[in-house]
Amino acid sequence: MAKYSVECPACNKSYTVQLYGPGRDREYKLNNWDWTCDACREKQRQEENAKAAAENAAAGLPALTGTEKQIAWAETLRVERLGVIRKALAGEYDYSYMSAFWGNSIGYTDEKCLQPEDPRTAHAIEVLRRQASARWWIDQRETKVGIVLTALFASHPPVKEDPPEIREAKEEVLAEATVRPEQPKTETVAEIRVGEKSVEVSFPEKREDFWQIIKKGLGYTWSGSSWKRSLGVTHGTPADRAAEAGNKLLAAGFIIRILDPAIRQAAIDATFEPEHTRWISKIIAGEYPGWFSITWKEDSRSLYDAARKLKRSKYSKPAVVVPAEQFEAVLDFAGMYGFRLSPGAQALVDMARTAKESALVAAPVPAKKEALPEPGSKPACLNVPENVEVDDEFKD
Ligand SMILES: [Zn+2]
């Protein structure tokens, strides 16, 4: 046993500790242990609790009830657990999530993931959010989030059953709208819905091959309950994009469901207008407002090289940008490589063209040179008036 002086890394105060064991071990502890002093530790813990309380209040959660110490502890438990649920709803199922959600004893399977479309899930989460007893959170601290939620399912009022004729009609409508590939990869159905300016795909199963098509390939993002893509002027019609998504999924072996018969047929026959991916648009903000932006989807070095040959072009991720005055070269480029102009880019062309045409055209007359004497030539005579009278004010 020996006494050592150590320094707290937070407040730099030195204090004395007693260490036991062989000298080697003591040396190791001195160098590697966290020597934060008790006062600083308590301060850090309080800061974490206060931060958790602020986060919970910001998330609209009720204030906890209990003793001061219970509340402080329960706040951090609540932040951590609701954080796990948020991750689950966002579809981020990684190992740390799975283990926080279910523990290590339960396998990593899709059925174990949170099903956001199950009404009991929303109900269980709401019950959890309303739970204001600090003691309850502390009592539940060893129980994994998934188990807590599943237990809360039982408190959901029974889902009201439809009368048989409605149930039959529902089944018939859904069956009619469903298209199966010859050999489906899974029985989970991808339901595709068309909005006014968006397309949505529901697919309550986590699969890498589905992600590859919908997220990586078609640019859909997770909205919290389904995969969604908002469509702008350069993306084509929602009906075309829905049929395209259906076609790609069907071809990859997924069962699809589309209620609109025309869109469904277009997905099967591939008669939709494919998405045009080469675009020239107008930049409205950022470093190059009022410039053309040239974008394309395929990974093409030669397109990049061709675009960068345009005078004054620059690369501004993810586009090649060109100033408006180069509109003629940009139009040539568009014609040559099948780029389309967005309405904004078309307006930019018109504006640049008008500016060019209204500029004054003139053949400038060569400017006269000032005639100055060369050394050796005879200097020009100065005309000195015969009577020089100097004004009073210029007199010295
Ligand atoms: Zn300290």
For residue 44, report the distance from its CA to the centre of ligand 1, in Å.
Answer: 10
C-alpha of residue 54 to centroid of ligand 1, in Å: 25
Q: What is the pLDDT of residue 282?
A: 93
In this prediction, residues 331-336 reach a mean pLDDT of 96
| Model pLDDT, residue 95 | 56
Q: What is the rounded distance in angstroms from the CA atom of residue 270 to the CA atom of residue 254?
A: 16
Q: Token match 């001195």: residue?
A: 30
Mean pLDDT of 118-142: 86
CA–CA dist 37, 1 (Å, integer)? 21
- At residue 179, the 3 state secondary structure works out as strand
Instruction: Give the pLDDT band (50/70/90) at residue 145.
Output: confident
352 confidence band (pLDDT: 50, 70, 90): very high
Of 110-124, 208-222, 249-263, the least confident: 110-124
Looking at per-residue pLDDT, the higher value among 226 and 393 belongs to 226
> What contacts 243, CB < 8 A, 6 or more positions away?
258, 263, 264, 266, 267, 271, 272
Give the pLDDT score at 1. 64
Tell me, in angstroms, the distance from the centre of ligand 1 to residue 19's CA.
19
Q: How far is the CA of 134 from the centre of ligand 1 (A)?
A: 29
Compute the distance between CA of residue 143 and CA of residue 151 in angstroms, rounded to an integer.
11
Q: How many angstroms does the Cα of residue 273 sit away from the middle of ligand 1?
A: 67
> Rounded CA gap, 76 and 52, in Å?
5
Rounded to the nearest whole angstrom, what is the distance from the C-alpha of residue 81 to the centroid of ligand 1? 30
Q: Compute the distance from residue 15 Cα to the ligand 1 centre, in Å.
A: 9
Cα 46 to averaged position of ligand 1 atoms, centre (Å):
14
Residue 223 has pLDDT above 50, yes or no: yes
Lowest mean pLDDT among 48-62, 91-105, 353-367: 91-105
Say how many Å lie between the CA of residue 257 and the centre of ligand 1: 62
CA 366 to ligand 1 center in whole angstroms: 82
Q: So what's the pLDDT on residue 369?
A: 79
CB atoms closer than 10 angstroms to residue 89: 16
Nearest to 81 by CA among 125, 19, 133: 125
Pick from 31-35, 317-321, 370-374: least confident: 370-374
For residue 112, the model assigns a pLDDT of: 54
Among 98-107, 170-179, 244-253, 362-371, the range with the most confident prediction by mean pLDDT is: 244-253
Q: How far is the CA of 35 from the centre of ligand 1 (A)?
A: 8
Q: Is the pLDDT of residue 90 over 50?
A: yes
Alpha carbon of 48 to ligand 1 centroid (Å)? 16
| Distance from Cα 50 to the centre of ligand 1, integer Å | 19
pLDDT tops 60 at residue 109 = no
Q: How far is the CA of 69 from the centre of ligand 1 (A)?
A: 22
The pLDDT score that the predictor gives to residue 106 is: 44
Q: What is the DSSP string of 2-61?
A: EEEEEE-TTT--EEEEEE-S-HHHHHHHHHHS----HHHHHHHHHHHHHHHHHHHHHTTP
**For residue 347, what pLDDT is reported?**
94
Give yes or no for residue 260 having a pLDDT over 50: yes
pLDDT confidence of residue 362: 76
Q: What is the pTM of this model?
A: 0.50
* pLDDT bracket for residue 232 (50, 70, 90): confident
Question: Can you tell me the distance from the alpha carbon of 299 to that of 317, in angstroms, rounded to the nearest whole number?
Answer: 14
Q: Is the pLDDT reported for residue 338 higher than 90?
A: yes
Dist. CA 36 → ligand 1 center (Å): 5
pLDDT surpassing 80 at residue 6: yes
| Angle (deg, nearest 10), helices 68-89 and 119-130 | 160
Strands (E), the chain: 2-7, 14-19, 178-179, 189-194, 198-202, 221-222, 227-230, 255-257, 279-282, 291-295, 314-316, 319-323, 340-341
| Phi, psi of 311, rounded to the nearest 5 degrees | -60, 140
Residue 58 Cα, ligand 1 centroid: separation in angstroms?
A: 31
Domain 185-269 fold is Alpha-Beta Plaits (3.30.70)
Q: Which helix (H) or strand (E) holds 126?
A: helix 119-130
17 C-alpha to center of ligand 1: Å?
Answer: 14
240 C-alpha to center of ligand 1: Å?
Answer: 64
Report the C-alpha gap between 203 and 171 in whole angstroms: 18
**Residues constituting the chain:** 396
Grade residue 311 by pLDDT with cuts at 50, 70 and 90.
Answer: very high
In terms of pLDDT, which residue wins out, 163 or 376?
Answer: 163
- Report pLDDT digits (tens) over 165-210: 888 888 888 899 999 999 999 999 999 999 888 999 999 888 899 9
Residue 72 Cα to ligand 1 middle (Å): 21
How much is the pLDDT for 30? Answer: 87
Residue 202: half-sphere exposure toward Cβ, Cα within 13 Å: 11
Q: Which range has the worst mean pLDDT, 84-98, 293-307, 324-338?
A: 84-98
Q: Distance between the two ends of the chain, CA-based, in angstroms?
A: 102
Residue 158 in this model has a pLDDT that exceeds 80: no
> Distance from the CA of 73 to the center of ligand 1, in angstroms?
22
Mean pLDDT of 26-35: 87
- The alpha carbon of 39 and the centre of ligand 1 are apart by a number of angstroms equal to 6
What rounded mean pLDDT belongs to the chain?
84
| Nearest-5° Cα angle at 85, 80 to 88 | 130
